[in-house]
Amino acid sequence: RFAQRAGLSVGHLRISAVTTSKYLVPNWLGSFCRQFPEIEPEFNIGNRAEIIQRLKANMDDLYIFSHLPKELDIHATPITDNPLVLIAPKGHHLTTCTNLSWEHVRKERFLIREKGSGTRHAVEAFFNMYGAPLMRPLGIASNEAIKESVVAGLGVAIISRHALSHMAPGNLVELNVKEFPIPSTWYLVTPKGKAMSPVTQAFSTHVDAMLGCK
Ligand code: PGA
């Protein structure tokens, strides 16, 4: 058994991850724990600002971010893409348009995550890059609630494509807009200088192997 080989009576693995990664991490953790049932995982979820606080306080073994806290001294390993896509409800007038560009969509009402969210940070950076203000943005502090609100016709949203994986097909449409998806990347993060425990190292290798298999 891994934990015994590693000289550990119990293999703890504390992971803190930003909310959007919840569509990925359980799958990695599930297969890891099936392989090493003696591992005792703890999986904490929060928005980017909350996970940065945990990282600063050195509370966990491993952190998962998409938008890295560049101000901190960290070691970050890129693991897979996190494309941010523009979604609208089925039947929205833009869903039948072709050759859409940013100009056609920027005046829509955007539903955006709460302050402290990495996704919101990316959306604001995107609007700044195009020098356009967000028109009457509606803040909603959850990816799930944003998807439901888009389906209900409250507006459009920019969201990780991973957050759409378990949606009933057809309710939401990914708009085909020239400037999208906004590229970003998932990273495994540890504080620089903090040695990875054998269990953490094994999990990181496991994630690599899973993603390499795709
Ligand atoms: P969020 O973070 O869940 O806080 O939006 C995602 C990210 O860091 O990109």
Q: Is 119 in the pocket of ligand 1 (CB under 6 A)?
A: yes
Give dist(CA 58, CA 194) in Å, integer: 9
To the question of pTM greater than 0.95 for the whole model, the response is no
Q: Which domains does the chain have, with CATH numbers?
A: 2-81+185-213 (3.40.190.10), 84-174 (3.40.190.10)
In the predicted model, what is the mean pLDDT of residues 88-103? 93
Average per-residue pLDDT for the chain: 91
pLDDT tens digits, residue range 104-136? Answer: 999 999 999 999 999 999 999 999 998 888 888
Q: How close is the Cα of 67 to the center of ligand 1, in Å?
A: 7
Across the beta sheet with 110-112, what order do the strands follow? Answer: 138-139, 110-112, 156-160, 84-89, 172-174
Among 32-46, 79-93, 200-214, where is mean pLDDT lowest?
A: 200-214
39 within 8 A of 199, measured Cβ to Cβ:
yes
pLDDT of 11 over the 90 cut: no
CA-based diameter of the chain, in Å? 61
pLDDT of 9 over the 50 cut: no
Q: How close is the Cα of 2 to the center of ligand 1, in Å?
A: 32
Task: Give me the interface pTM, i.e. the ipTM.
Answer: 0.95
Give residue 24's pLDDT: 94
Q: Is 21 in the pocket of ligand 1 (CB under 6 A)?
A: no
pLDDT tens digits, residue range 66-86? Answer: 999 989 999 999 999 999 999
Q: What is the CA radius of gyration of the chain?
A: 19
Give residue 8's pLDDT: 43
Give dist(CA 7, CA 3) in Å, integer: 6
pLDDT of 56 over the 90 cut: yes
User: Ligand 1 pocket check: which of 51, 64, 85, 121 to mutate, most ligand atoms within 8 Å of Cβ?
Assistant: 121
Give residue 135's pLDDT: 85
In the predicted model, what is the mean pLDDT of residues 59-66? 97
Give residue 213's pLDDT: 56
Give residue 44's pLDDT: 97
- Quote the strand ranges of the chain, DSSP E: 11-18, 39-46, 62-65, 74-81, 84-89, 110-112, 138-139, 156-160, 172-174, 185-191
Give residue 10's pLDDT: 56
Fill in the amino acid letter for 106: R
Give dist(CA 120, CA 106) in Å, integer: 16
pLDDT tens digits, residue range 169-194? Answer: 788 999 999 999 999 999 999 999 89
175 within 8 A of 195, measured Cβ to Cβ:
no
Q: Counting every residue, how long is the chain?
A: 214
Residue with tokens 């995107």: 126
Q: How close is the Cα of 49 to the center of ligand 1, in Å?
A: 9
Give residue 186's pLDDT: 96
Burial of 214 (0-12, 13-18, 19+ CB in 10 A): exposed
Give residue 115's pLDDT: 96
Give dist(CA 148, CA 128) in Å, integer: 27
User: Ligand 1 pocket check: which of 21, 44, 47, 184 to mutate, most ligand atoms within 8 Å of Cβ?
Assistant: 47
Q: How close is the Cα of 27 to the center of ligand 1, in Å?
A: 18
Q: How close is the Cα of 38 to the center of ligand 1, in Å?
A: 30
